[in-house]
Amino acid sequence: MSLLSLNNLTVILKEQIILNKISFSLSSGEKVFILGPNGAGKTTLIETIMGFVPFQKGQIKFKGKVVANEKDFQELRKNVGYVFQNPDDQLFSPTVEEELAFGPLNLGWDRKRIKEKVSEILAFFNIEHLRHKNTYELSGGEKRIVSIACVLTMEPELLIMDEPSNGLDEKNFRILVEFLKNTDKSVIVVTHDKDLVRELSWKTYFLREGKLTEE
């Protein structure tokens, strides 16, 4: 079954057509890359899926339901973990621990479940030592890995990541690759990182001149 589908999605920003009748379908458990040159509209595309950018034409469907108004997008965002291209746009909590707990708190989980989940994710990404740090005091790579970790605590069905390997050292790159290889979640990764693409032989889409094509 299709988890996410886009039908003829068109996005115009400042009278410029950025996305031109994009159609795309992602099934449950499917993992794909979206590649394309700087300014092609990759971030715009995934921000449109999240409801951060309005679209002029076409349709988005998630889990069989049309996503049309803000309430629909709020529902979608409960099930989709979104990793921003720039971690500073994403991280806002005073501490790493609070950042990781934010999603589950919002979903109304009880304290015990949240505590266990936060500890599990901190351990998985090998960042227990960052637990009580201020998010704004982290290094660039630390911010990146925290921004990935914190969308996973709410156990989303779909992950959408905008250049998740940017700034990661070899050790954290390996952790990310192993996670992406082994997760049973559906994943869309936007990237320029050829090493990441080589490591994961996923279906690859290319965005260019407003059109999305399969490689």
Instruction: Identify what 127 binds: Mg ion, ligand ATP, none; CB under 5 to 8 Å per kind.
Output: none
The Cα 37–Cα 43 span in angstroms is 11
Q: Which is nearer to ligand ATP, 44 or 153 (CB)?
A: 44
Grouping H, G, I as helix, E, B as strand and the rest as coil, residue 149 is: helix
User: 31-35 and 186-190 as β-strands: parallel, antiparallel, unpaired?
Assistant: parallel
**What is the nearest approach in angstroms of ligand ATP to the Cβ of residue 60?**
16
**What is the nearest approach in angstroms of ligand ATP to the Cβ of residue 15?**
9
Instruction: Identify what 7 binds: ligand ATP, Mg ion, none; CB under 5 to 8 Å per kind.
Output: none
> Positive or negative, the Cα torsion across 173, 46, 187, 108?
positive
* Cβ-contact 32, 11 below 8 angstroms: no
Instruction: Identify what 13 binds: Mg ion, ligand ATP, none; CB under 5 to 8 Å per kind.
Output: ligand ATP
Q: Which is nearer to ligand ATP, 29 or 37 (CB)?
A: 37
Residue 163: which of 10, 13, 5, 36 has the closest Cα? 36
- Looking at residues 153 to 172 of the shown chain, list those that interact with ligand ATP (rule: CB under 6 A): none
Tokens of 77: 């965002």
Residue 133 main-chain phi, psi, to 5 deg: -75, 155
Q: Across-strand partners of 44?
A: none
Instruction: Identify what 14 binds: Mg ion, ligand ATP, none; CB under 5 to 8 Å per kind.
Output: ligand ATP
Q: Which is nearer to Mg ion, 43 or 135 (CB)?
A: 43
Residue 153 main-chain phi, psi, to 5 deg: -65, -30
- Looking at residues 16 to 75 of the shown chain, list those that interact with ligand ATP (rule: CB under 6 A): 18, 36, 38-44
Name the residue with the smallest CB distance to Mg ion. Answer: 43
Tokens of 69: 């108004």
What is the binding site for Mg ion (CB under 5 A)?
42-43, 85
Q: Across-strand partners of 65?
A: 62
**What is the nearest approach in angstroms of ligand ATP to the Cβ of residue 44?**
3
Instruction: Identify what 68 binds: ligand ATP, Mg ion, none; CB under 5 to 8 Å per kind.
Output: none
Interaction site with ligand ATP (CB under 6 A)? 13-14, 18, 36, 38-44, 85
